[in-house]
Structure 1
Amino acid sequence: ISSEQPPQPATAARSSRCDSIQFGTVDAYTKREGEAKLSKPFRVKTVAHAAAVTGRGGTGHSQLVLRFIYEHEDEYNTILRIDARSEEMAQSRYERCCRALRLRVQPVSSVGSVQDAPAVQAVLQWLRNRGQEERWLTVVDNADDLSSCDVSSIVPRGRTGTIVVTSQDAPATRLLGGRSDTGKVDDVEPEEAVQLLFSFVDEPLLGWRDECRRLVDELTGSLDRLPPAVRMAVVRIRIDVEDGNDVEAALRQYVADYCHYRDRLLQSEDFTAASSYKKTVWTVWETSLPSLRELENRQCDICPTRLLSFLTFLILNCANVQDELFRLASLGLPESCRQLNATTPTWMQALLATGDSGGWDDYIYRVTVETLL
């Protein structure tokens, strides 16, 4: 969200509200102990408040930080998020922040390293120059690979700033220029994982039959009690139940399918070398995709697997701006296709439909995306 003021140099002083947060919270969330660390003032020499949130992938440290932002957003003039999973992604996010702050930078064809990129330098300088009353918060998210990506060089500094780093790497605190507060997000407890599953499925539907409960315990254990994996598994189970299967049978079938795909994937060298988090999520996707394909065969107006492939491309290459791209495409793509004598793919036409007012009718898009969530 950018202000109405015209673009100005990075050194110019200004006070405006600027949020650059492009990822959402999940419906079911378990309050974690690390939240208290974010609210506690902890001063280091380069920023007013610094904290690191660490934990195994999928345990919810990014969601924890999001909850903190939503509860404290009125305390900051500027809120930025930098995705640090790679240098390319970090630079893309800084360029997005630069546009949101309306900072003028000179484009260059190439840079030696990400910290030398004009957009990175412009945003870092802008944050350093904020006045005493201009509080800002920057989240450096997914700073997991500290060996190949020089994250410390792109962490903002400034006396009025708050820095929060999320990472799967426990030594991530060194990114903050010395000692800082650290909140570790521990793995979800077995009972928490069960309650999480019940938050996605009506409890009366599952019931508390001994065999159902045993299968739920086995399922959440197989999924390493990772919240994203549990949620994805529930989507598949729901589809089976809607098709008329008994809940107990659907649970048993999912556990069997999960073990089958995991054993098959173990034959892949890439899979065996992956982290436990990636192994679990990878297997869950393999288990879920057949159900998505069956859903496509029954409902020809939605194409979740094709949309998933397309969104994956957009997320990797366009820094999470897929909704806006679809909106713009609905307005301009048909005319462009006519001019080029080209045809929009059939599966995409419904996703780009326009309403009576001429604007994007995003109903099919939302329904298809919800199938993937």
Structure 2
Amino acid sequence: MVKVVVAPDSFKGSLTALEVAEQMKLGVKRAIPEAEVEMVPVADGGEGTMDTLVHHTYGEQKRESVEGPLGDPVEAKWGILGDKETAVIEMAEASGFNLVSSDRLNPLQASTYGTGQLIKCALDYGCKRLLLAIGGSATNDGGAGMATALGVKLFDEAGVELKRGGAQLKRLHSISIEDLDPRLRDVEVVVASDVTNPLCGPNGASFIFGPQKGATDLMVEQLDQALSHYAAVVKETVGKDVKDLPGAGAAGGLGAGLIAFLDAGLQPGVDLVLDVLGFDEKVNGASLVLTGEGKTDEQTSFGKVPMGVGLRAKQKQVPVICISGSLDDGYKKVAKYGVDAFFSITDRPQTLDCAMERADQLVAETVEQVISVYCLRGPRS
């Protein structure tokens, strides 16, 4: 019996990871009707992580009204995994770039307060483990808003609590964690992040990610100075030195706040997801693994799904084929991470819109052809 594991990411804007997996399974079955196909739709810790983990573990989704990046109320989703003890939160749901129109982007004022509110919702539910995916932020406040929502108090020199936003941190004089939610002491917090940038400096949160959130050159300087001051006060008050810590600059410094106040551990996003899905066990006995994403290029080798899947399958000596919407410059670099072959689903010259509309059909047809050829070489059973 041939066993094939299909473990794709989503084809962004076209198919979810589950829909891609279903079409891959269809293609495999057309070529080998008797094949055992294990569907393991994957995410890399960014968009879609919550949906993937909740679906695969038979969990449930919740909706809460929380404070958006600029203080407006937003409806945010968060998930509870099938064990009923693990919450999965995408910070973009509450504090994301997608929640602010381009003409309103303002990293000086944007806050992660809503993300803290979602964490509090998970604590109210009784969750003992928190998985946070922190990509796609509109914020640059070092996680100060998140911490405030959970009981941390930030004061200026006059003893007045600071307002929201990264720019306010330049006025920070002292921090009180006396009212930090005590339930956090009994909760494990794991952060999915592939960003290794420090909090401050030329490679820090403000300089690298600030401009895409609407920061001018002057704003970048202001925010970097504010975060540097914030890090100094955190070190003095909380005893955590987060300024130069790899990953502290993730999500506008939310990584730093989670480490400082929630004692969080950072983990590559795709590894966190693969662990929760039990991917290593599912690959046991497999003849082949199929993975893929919307576009495979040089960036894939910086922690995206095909790289993570390739590395895990390589440890089990199982071959991996990547089926993607398109292959762009640098995709061959992913080969050193355990991916043996690459195929694009594009079957003829066509517009991007046309290819996206036909993506389900194209995935199934491409997989069918790839598996048919694979069979000619004698698949391992």
What TM-score do you get using the length of structure 2 for normalisation? 0.27
Q: Which structure has greater strand proportion?
A: 2
Larger relative contact order (CA 8 Å, sep ≥ 6): 2
Q: Which structure has greater helix proportion?
A: 1
